[in-house]
Structure 1
Amino acid sequence: MPRASIASPAQIRSTILAMLAEAHDASPATRERFRRVVSVRKLKDRLGGGDPATLGRAINAIESEIVTAGLADIAMPDIPNEIAELMRQLWHAAVATQLDEVVKLKAEAQQSVAAADSATAEANMRVDMLREELDAARTLLAGRDAELAQARADLSVARDQMSSLEEKSKQAQAISQALRDQVAALERSQQESLSAAQHRYEGLSKQLLQETAQQRQALQQEQSRLASQLKFAERRMASLEESLAHAEADAGAERDKRQTAVGEANALRAVNASQRAQLDELMRATLSKTASSNRRSVAPSEKPGSKRAAPRRKGE
């Protein structure tokens, strides 16, 4: 069942025309302009309710009429004189207020201009300073760019080194794991060897204790035997010392006899030497006499002027 309409078609038409008049559109309205000014929602809010379908049909009808004929052919209601007078008074008051505000705004504008000039000068100085700082910053930035490029190159080299170090680390970890396995195996073998050595040590300890007891017993027997031998040796030494004393006495007597014999032998050597010297002199005298007699017997047999026979040559 259709909803009952709140406003009549005449009220809807006058409301739409009032909305167009409030928009101050002096030129003939177009469809786009009409749709921006008038819509079902705005018209419904203006009327305080109504059927959207009825309002839409009324809007379409008035839109066709206005777009075809234009707003100039539509009779617009005049403004009442009281309202016009009130609007004129309001306008004069607004103009006076606006003039005061214009004077104030002009003074404020002049102050603003002076402040703006000083601010401009200061801004220019700041701009110059900022330009210098910008140049310095650009120079610094160029240096930083060079440092950044160097840092990137160093980073690339460091990454390569890091990758190689990671590979070496992996290899080292593998080697370390292998070494750990070897160490574990060595520890197990060492533990087994230690257990075997401990077992063997316990056996050897028992054997050593037994042998030590046997050696202690044998040592005691040997000590008793050596004690008896020592007593015998002491008695033997005492007898030998007595024999040595007798032998030393005999040796002293023999030494005296030997010294006497040595003196006699030295005397005999002296006598023998003198006799040998006398014999040598006698022999020399005898030989000299024999040689002189032989020369005298040979000399008369040789004739004067005789020649000695020449010696034969070798090979004749």
Structure 2
Amino acid sequence: MTLTFISSSSRERLMYLKGKKVPKRLNVSKLKSDHSNSTWLKKLRVDWTPKLLVLGISSLNGLSFETSSMLQSQRGALLNDTISASKKAAFSNSKRTVQLELCQMQDTWLSQKADEIQSYAKHNDMKFYSALKSVYGPTSSGSSPLFGADGDTLITDREMILECWAEHFDSVLNSPFSINDEAIERLPQAPTNHALADVPTEEEVKKAVNRLFSGKAPGADSIPAEIYASGGPQLIRRLTELFQSMWFQEKLPQEFKDVSVVHLYKRKGNRQACDNHRGISLLSVAGKILDRVLLNRLIQHLEQGLLPESQCRFRQGTQNS
């Protein structure tokens, strides 16, 4: 059992690991010259202490001596003159240095934690699950109350909340549409390209796998894109055999069709209203690879003089004026 952890350079990831809210950045324009040192240190701790706690550091003393000294010197300079642009710039540079050092601490912590979890998995140790929880944080139980379709009734029952989300995304994703058959008949007809129906090849699958994005959430099978990207020629061959089998049977597995929809708050408006959330569809990465194979074929087909010169944006070999 091999585990691979991909570290993130985002400072918000540090807060997410412990399930805490991301604190707001320190607004230097609101610091007054009459603020005491304790007030400044309190603001600094609010911004940085939760991040350090994630990495097992109890205070700002966990930073290097050079970084700590720089923060202390910038503190006095900024409090004495909050209007100076040069001092604000110096303070911003100090914050960037702290962020860089925190990211390095995070990478070290994640690497050590990955080795620890790998050791637990190798020896079938039950500490494996508690170690995973320390990385991903506690899971939230229950569902937040939600307003119904009428916008007035507050729903608290879990089953009714799920039904409300299902109705909302069904109306958003399955909106009615109409097709004008006369307009389609007026389009110029191109000869049928039978090559689009050819069986997928290993080269096409390899090209599609290389186009995958890392760090994206997987679908219901929980297999991330990094697994396919690092699988090597053997995995490419097995994927090709799977796609060819589906090609001959003319049937897609249900796992490729199932979608897990996750809602994200837009950070504006009432959080308990469905319209103030954005839906993210999580699909199987294997299905995305097959989609990319078909998309590459269609793009290559359209490049054969089927698109007018006016549609040159984001096309290979063309430039925008």
State the TM-score bracket (shorter-chain normalisation): under 0.3
Which structure would you say has the larger RCO, counting Cα contacts within 8 Å and 6 or more residues apart? Answer: 2
* TM-score w.r.t. length of structure 1: 0.16
**Greater share of strand:** 2
* TM-score w.r.t. length of structure 2: 0.16
**Greater share of helix:** 1
Larger radius of gyration: 1
